[in-house]
Structures are given as structure tokens and as C-alpha cells.
Amino acid sequence: MSNSPSPLENIHDAIKNSNPFSIKFVDQHHIWGASFPDVPEINAHISDAVFNAIEKVSKNELPSIGIIITGEKGLGKTQVISRIRHRLQSERNAFFIYMGNYGDLDCIKSEFLQTLTSSLKRIGIEEVTQWQELAANMFFTARGNRPCSPKDLANGKFAAIVRNKPQTPEGWANAICSKNPELNNPYLVKAILWTLSENHAPYAISWLSGQELTQSKADELGLPNNSQKTELATFKTTCELLALIGHYSNLVFCFDELDDPNSNDRGFTRAQVVASLAKDLRNSISKCVLLMAMYPATLRDEIKLGQTQGASYDRTADKVLDLDYLNSDTSVVLVSKWLGDFYASQELIPPNPLYPFDESEIREIGKGKPTAREILKWCSENWKVTETSGGKILPVDPVKAAFKNEFQSVEDSIDEYMENNTVVSDSLWLAFKALTEENIEGVKVTDVTRIDSDDSVKSSDKGYLHFRIIAEENGKVVKIGVAAILQANGKFIGAALKRLIDYNKFGFTRGCLVRSHKINKGSAIPQECVRKLLKEQGGEWVTLLKEHIKPLIAISFVLNKAENYDLTEEQVYDFIKETRLAVNNPLVREILSDPSGQEPLGLIDDELPISIPRRDADAYNEEIAL
């Protein structure tokens, strides 16, 4: 490839057709997937301090270390976390657990267990999930050698062994525990080993996250079924799991997105609740580095000065590291990096590394000590070429760019969201809220209300149902109660369904269940509730499909992050209307349609035996045992 600059006409066409600065902040999917353009010299003191801490923990110089990263909005807290994650992935230094969504602050320990199991589903350095890396390491360590790679085990070798010898996971688990007396829970070991089988892994991970399996599935995996646990019992299980992981690897916990004014029922803010969790983690386990990222004001007002927070600060703030503002030099380096990545993706060579910007102008902006987000925003707003070049740059629709970014993020994590009642129900709520005064096949939505926000709803009834659609149909008012009940099994399902069919109590004229799993045949109460809903009360069961919910989740995430995207709520609602994102969505239309009175087709049946695909027998005929 020639090193001479590309024709200006080609460069200008690329500039007109794409704005690389349209997304100006790092999001969760940049941590797990492709990272934002990164300049390692910017805030190198923070990432260096974190890796020094990991080294000290690895050498047993310290059992654990707590670091708080502070910086104003846009300085790059999540960017540094992304850098740490990607470097960990390449250097195999530690398992990485990231928490940026917190759900119910009153159940933070349960939420953390879900985050832990979800984080370990992410791909690690061996091109398998972190769960599978852990399982392979447990097996290899007990054997004293590596007869194959983790990828070989996960890509069929383990499944083939289990197909021929179904008791293998139990045998391996017992052998691993006998060689490591400190590992005193063979069920945890067995569940982790099951993650090496592609078809068994989802059930094993559900069990590890504390969810209840169907009894037949629990028996198939040889695991005792989980029952509903208190927060204390959940945390005990979490610490057992973390201690097991720590036996084989260091752990890095990152708590991000802590600057939120919402509080739990006891009045503690998100930052305070998470700091208390981090303190409890550090008191209970070793071989870990705990990171928390927050605004300086959050640290000052909620952690250092907050009532009852002194112990949390002492146990989580061995170091407090401040992010740096940009200067003239780092501003130039940052913009050069973004432009370099852009031109490389377009297979173009610009006349200079900062084209079409002027270096002196960027240096002048840098003198004002901007945040990274501020300089990227300036680049986005000034992304243009001179008029003499001909043509016109059409302004990028900021909502469309944000939606595209969030949609990619949703696609990366859709399996996780398909099990999250809150994420799915919030996205459906937004879709129907945007439909207010719209008429869909004779049904006109007039209002949408959240059930938990209704003062008449008792606290014991909250958390089960999600929202109420008020509409007009054929001159009559209909009130549709919607509940997204996504868990495969568990007592929660029966409790939620009991409330969904109580039309008088919650002011419904019909109920709508949103769910992708069949109801376990042995669950008498849920089965009876569904029968009443469909056969006696004119209710409906709508299947949740990934392709239908993905765009709704994506646009709801855009609304949640509107401030980061420099958007208004009105812009987001206008985008939903203009693109007909809600009006044309099959899931939305099905909820509003006349109920069929039948259980939908295509539901997931968790009671079917897990099949193990047959592969080339010669590839897996080697005996591997402990």
C-alpha cells in the first residue's frame, strides 16, 4: 500500500458519509467488546497503579487492595476501566467482573451474584468464556498437566466424554476437591465443570446464579435445586464461589456508574450501597483488587462524609486516584488516535494526521483543560470539509447514531437481557408510552402507568407486575396489566401470576403475560394461574422473541443515557414515532391484539433432556481423566 496521501475527493467522501465522533463516551459494550480508541499515555498513572496492585496481590504481598478512581463527567473513568479489561484479557492476569447496572438496591448482594455470573460468561483470553477458563484450570491443576487446550475441552471434547460417561463431572469434581481440601463444596465445582458443555452451560450458570432449575434438569446435572435465599445466604454462596475462583486466579472487581441520586428503602444512595458491598467483599475474600469509579462530589458527600460510611471508605480506599484533564499535547494525541482509526477503517491516508482539523485550533482548545468528552464533542460538531470540495455533509441524526450504538450493545448481551424482567418491562413501557394517542388496528392507547408507582398498591405486592395500558377499543375502556415474568422456574413465577389474574385488585380488564419459557408441568400454582388467565379471564400469553425486543431495549437505553448522548427526552420520543419503532413492533401489536386464549407456540421447554451433539468420533477418542 502506498504511503502517499489518498485523493482528497475520496477522503472528503468518507468525511461526508461517516462521523467517527458521533459517539463520544465509552459504554459497557466497549468494555467487553471492541474498545474505544485508546491513548495509553492519558491517565496512565491509574491503569499502571491498578496493574501494580494486581501484581502485589499475585505475589501475596497484600491479600487485597481497594482503589477509588475519581473524575468529573467526561474525563474517562469508563475508558480507563475498558483499558484495564482489555489488557487483562491479553495478559491473563485475572478474572474481570464489571458492574454498571445495579437493579434493586435493596437486593444488592443478589444483583451482584447475577453480575458475577454474567461477567464470567464473557470471552477470555483462551477464546472461551471465563467460566470455561476456570473449569479447565481446575481440571488441569488437579491433573498436573494440560492434555489439551481449554478451547478443545469446550468445543466438544468434554461433551463427548460426558456422552460416553455421564458421571464424569461428578468424578472430576470429587477428585478436584480431594486434591484441594479448601474446596469444600463439590456442587460448585461440578456446576463450573458443566460450563464446558455448550448445551449444559446455560443451566449450570443459572444454578450458579442462584436460580431454581426444573427438578428434572437439576437431577440431570446432579445438583441440588436452589430454593429462595435471603440476601445473607446469597452472599455466603457468592463468597464461596469467589473463594473458589481466587484459588485459581486473581479477581478484579470494577464498580462503575455510581453517581446516581436514587436510594434504597433505607435511604442509602447507589454509591453508599455499593461501597458497603465492596467493604463486605473485601472482608470476606482475598486475591482481589476492588475498583470504584465516581465523581469527586460523590466520594466527598456520600462516602467520606456520609453517615455510617466511614468503615466503607477505610476498606475501599487504599488509594484514591484522580483522572487528569487534557492539555494541548494530549488533546492532539487523542484526536490523532481517533482519526487514525477512522482513516485506517476506510483504507485512506490523510494529508496529515489531524485532517480535516487544524492542529493549532485543537491546541488552543487543549489550553482550557477540556475533558475527553468535550474535545470529542467539538470534533463531532466541526466534522466537515471546505465548501470548495463540493458536496454537502448531511448532519448525523444524533438519536439514530445513539440507537445504533445501543443496538450493538444489546446484541452483545441479549441472552442476559432475555432473563431480566426489569430491562424487558422498562423497554415495553417506553414503547407503549410513545404510542399514547396512537391508533393500532382499532385500539387507541390513552395512558400507561407503572403499577409499583400506584399508591394503592401494597408494598407486599410490588415487584411482581410492571405496568397498566389504558386504551379505548370499540368505544370501551380496556386496562391491560402487563407482567414480564422471564425466569425459567421458581416460586416468584407463581407469586407474580397470582397477582396478574387478580383483576379487581389491580384494576385490569385483562392480563398479559410476556414470557419465552413454558411453565414447569410440576408447578401446580403457576399452571392453574395460567389456565385461569387464558381460559376464564380473557387474558393473553405473548412469546418474548429476541428480534422483537432488541430494538425496544436499545431505544430505552438511549433514553436512560440521554444526557450522555446530549439528547432530550423529546428527541427520543420523536425518533420512536418517526421510525415507527413501536407502532410496527410485532410484540407491541400482539399485546394489544385480541387474546387467542391459547398458550403460544415456540416456547422454550426446560424439561426436555439436554442433548449432546455427536461430533467426529476420531477427534475425541482420547481418554482424559483425573
Output the pLDDT for position 390.
Answer: 46
Nearest of 440, 516, 452 to residue 478 by alpha carbon: 440
pLDDT for residue 609: 61
In DSSP terms, 66 is beta-bridged to: 290
| Of the candidates 375, 439, 405, 452, the residue with the CA atom closest to the CA atom of residue 582 | 439
Which grid cell sits at 23? 459517539
Cα-to-chain-centroid distance, residue 216: 29
Confidence of residue 148 (pLDDT cuts 50, 70, 90): confident
Count of other CB atoms within 10 angstroms of residue 141: 15
Residue 615, pLDDT above cutoff 60: no
pLDDT reported for residue 255? 96
Label residue 368 by pLDDT band (50, 70, 90): very high
- Percent of the chain whose pLDDT exceeds 70: 93
Is the pLDDT assigned to residue 618 strictly greater than 50? no
| The residue to which cell 499535547 is assigned | 329
Examine the pLDDT at 486 and tell me if it is beyond 60. yes
Q: What is the pLDDT of residue 548?
A: 97
Strand, helix or coil for residue 14: helix
Distance CA 152, CA 142 (A): 18
Minimum mean pLDDT among 89-93, 103-107, 409-413: which range?
Answer: 89-93
- Report pLDDT digits (tens) over 189-199: 999 999 999 88
If residue 428 lies in a helix (H) or strand (E), which one and from where to where?
helix 421-434
Q: What percent of the chain has pLDDT over 90?
A: 59
Q: Distance between CA 550 and CA 567 in Å, rounded?
A: 21
- Residue 276: CB partners within 8 Å, gap ≥ 6? 268, 309, 312
The structural domains of the chain, with segments of one domain joined by +, span 8-24+328-391, 43-322, 405-592
Model pLDDT, residue 605: 81
Instruction: Write the DSSP symbol of residue 452.
Output: G
- Per residue in 319-342, pLDDT (tens digit) is 999 999 999 999 999 999 999 999
3-state secondary structure 268-291: CEHHHHHHHHHHHHHHHCCCEEEE
The tens digit of pLDDT for each residue in 518-548 reads 988 888 899 999 999 999 999 999 999 999 9
- Mean of the per-residue pLDDT values for the chain? 89
**Which residue type does 385 have?**
V
Residue 617 pLDDT > 60: no
- In the predicted structure, residue 502 carries a pLDDT above the cut 80: yes
Distance CA 263, CA 490 (A): 28
| Residue 306, pLDDT score | 67
CA distances from 241 to 57, 222, 416 (A): 19, 18, 20
Q: Indicate the pLDDT class of residue 413, thresholds 50, 70 and 90.
A: confident
Collapsed DSSP state (helix, strand, coil) of residue 445: strand
d(CA 617, CA 86): 37
* Distance of alpha carbon 297 from alpha carbon 439, whole angstroms: 47
Please report the pLDDT score of residue 611 as a whole number. 55
pLDDT tens-digit readout, 577-601: 999 999 999 999 999 999 999 999 8
C-alpha span between 293 and 300 (Å, rounded)? 13
**pLDDT tens track for 177-214:** 988 888 888 999 999 999 999 889 999 999 999 888 88
Query: Do the beta carbons of residue 90 and residue 182 sit within 8 Å?
Result: no
Alpha-carbon distance of 624 to 626, in angstroms, equals: 7
Specify the pLDDT at position 619: 44
Distance CA 10, CA 23 (A): 23
Residue 565: count of CB within 10 angstroms of its CB: 23
Exposed/middle/buried for 405, CB within 10 Å: 0-12, 13-18, 19+? buried
CA–CA dist 210, 23 (Å, integer): 37
DSSP state of 347: T
Provide the grid cell at 290.
476492588
- 344-348: long-range contacts at Cβ-Cβ below 8 A with a sequence spacing of 24 or more? 346/14, 346/18, 348/6, 348/10, 348/11, 348/14
The CATH superfamily holding the domain 43-322 is P-loop containing nucleotide triphosphate hydrolases (3.40.50.300)
pLDDT band at residue 82, thresholds of 50, 70 and 90?
very high
Residue 488's pLDDT is what?
Answer: 66
